[in-house]
Chain A
């Protein structure tokens, strides 16, 4: 059974000058123990989506549709229940670990806090659990007495992961967990996340603009553009054989070293991401699309089957698959 189900989720921010549709009708499911990667550039709505899952959005955001976490609707959940769900059933790891930690408290106390607040452990047991958690993320137990500034960026990100694991959640949402880190440290953190998902059966939603990182960790990838899902399918297929032109551009942005095609030939995508308050008509991607047809300016394509467990919202897919 699926752990998380998004049904026609939409998020609209109300600001002084009007309404900003950040997420527009996203439907997704995540099975227990599965890892889903959500890709897209700034403004695509991927972080808004992540925040909506735990109702961490600012007050001026209006949420529509349904978010079923283990069968319970997060949107209509009572406040007390919501607090219990955060950390204990689903927790979030943000990018930029330096801002997620309190600089004047020892990291052991910070990891123990959710355990104590949720009444999951008495102080003594919490201390033992902190040591266990630090060990799981590859830090020595004496680090519990350190302050955040005494740790490196990679170590701080490990602490954030230890905090997220503390209450044994069933789902971890990781928003660009390795963006600010060096390649080697990034590899260490990704390996850690992969092991935790595999060994503890935790489900993962990982958000990034780097398709190569996502496809390395996740089973499935969802690509967002202008608040919509434009492609959704098995990681390897989306990364190597993307069916939507936007996914192809994202995949090509990070070259494979050694591939003669990308040598001295960086691939980018012209134009800029659309202003969510003035979305282009038809397919939102058509002004930047290298393979746009005339009809794309007026025709808004929904997700269309593009193979087994794979779908893409592009008129080319519709034509090819529809003809078969």
Chain B
């Protein structure tokens, strides 16, 4: 009970932003064209806040996460951490990566099969030359729920279950005592019964250590389970964002509405046809208009915005905590 109350309280008070993307653009060359993978994103993650970044494959969510980690350089715009723009010098980046740690999707792929649990967790502290390595590893394993920690020191990844491996990966991130975790689909490759345990661990780390997290996922149930705020990304832009309770119970953007409607148990399905369009050919007007069910049904025309949907660009959403949607129809329909 206290956990949920504390969480609710934490959401209502505005937090200073710790990690921030400002008007971020990341472009790649793709078969002679420019792919605008991230095409204007403002996003702020507050201290102790868990933000879920939701979208389909190819929407740019992983590129955005990698750019926030300093693994990609933005084409324009900036990443800010703790009030200052990210410095891409190698020494500064190394220091930055102690603060902001990555947890990958597949623990089997991200652990070296020939390294013991101890070596896997000690690697970060060694690179950063932290003192008291054994103590650091012990505490990280114990925080990640592998107890008693010394029983796991000499085990190899293949001797562990999927859930335990993901805990080792998380312990490796925790060993550097970071402020932010960026987790890319942290439970997608785990079994149903283990999934809840790992998500509960992320919530507990926030509670105990005040960790912030950006969780990249296509799973709205996960956002509902652990996130304070959610940002829905489509074709390089955030199209809707806000507190989870608001966005996921009363979504305003037709894309979010469609994503919600295909959850099992949903009364009426809107199955969008086709795959998400290509970031080398972002449509004009609203970038979602070619697949938009509200435009296709004629409701946008009734509201008199269909012309705008097809031809008028939408502003980039600012990084504010309140609920907002980038949609011409939502603007007039309220």
Contact = CB atoms under 8 A, between A and B. Distances in A.
A132 interface: no
B196 A269 contact: yes
Interface string B278-313: 000000000000000000000000000000000000
A228 to B, nearest CB: 16
A34 B174 CA distance: 49
B269 A187 contact: yes
A268 B224 contact: no
Contact of A184 (B56, B244, B245): B56
Chain B: interface residue count, which band? 35 or more
Interface string A195-226: 00000000000000111110110000000000
A185 interface: yes
Interface in A20-46: 41-42
A272 B163 contact: yes
B259 A253 contact: no
Contact of B191 (A42, A153, A256): A42
Contact of B224 (A184, A246, A252, A262): A262
Given A182-B57, A183-B220, A269 B226 contact: no
Could you say which of A152, A184, A265 has the most chain B C-beta atoms within 10 Å of its C-beta? Answer: A184
Given A183-B262, A184-B262, A258-B249, A269 B224 contact: no
B200 interface: yes
Nearest to B195: A253
A258 B249 CA distance: 6
B224 A257 contact: yes
Given A41-B191, A268-B196, A212 B265 contact: yes
Contact of B199 (A152, A246, A268, A273): A268
Contacts of A211: 192
Contacts of B197: 266, 268-270
B263 interface: yes
A254 B272 CA distance: 23
Main secondary structure of the interface of B (DSSP, over half): helix
A186 interface: yes
B164 interface: yes
B10 to A, nearest CB: 10
B170 interface: no
Interface string B155-169: 000000111100000
B102 interface: no
Contacts of B223: 257
A185 B275 contact: yes
A266 B258 contact: no
Interface residues of A, number: 43
B199 A182 contact: no
B13 interface: no
A154 interface: yes
A193 to B, nearest CB: 13
Contacts of B327: none
A235 to B, nearest CB: 11
Interface in B221-236: 221, 223-226
B218 A182 contact: yes
Which of B3, B4, B196, B263 has most A Cβ within 10 Å? B196
B280 to A, nearest CB: 15
Pairs A-B, 5 closest by C-beta atoms: A268-B196, A268-B197, A187-B262, A266-B199, A41-B191
Interface of B: 3-4, 7, 56-57, 161-164, 191-200, 203, 218-221, 223-226, 244-245, 248-249, 258-260, 262-265, 269, 271-273, 275-276
24 contacts: A41-B192, A41-B193, A42-B162, A182-B57, A184-B259, A184-B276, A186-B262, A187-B262, A187-B269, A188-B273, A191-B269, A212-B264, A215-B264, A216-B265, A253-B196, A255-B224, A262-B225, A265-B225, A268-B196, A268-B197, A269-B197, A270-B197, A272-B161, A272-B163
Interface of A: 41-42, 152-155, 182-188, 191, 209-213, 215-216, 246, 249-250, 252-259, 262-270, 272-273
Given A257-B249, A257-B260, 16 more contacts: A153-B57, A155-B275, A183-B218, A183-B219, A184-B271, A185-B56, A185-B275, A191-B271, A255-B221, A255-B224, A257-B220, A257-B248, A263-B224, A268-B198, A268-B199, A273-B161
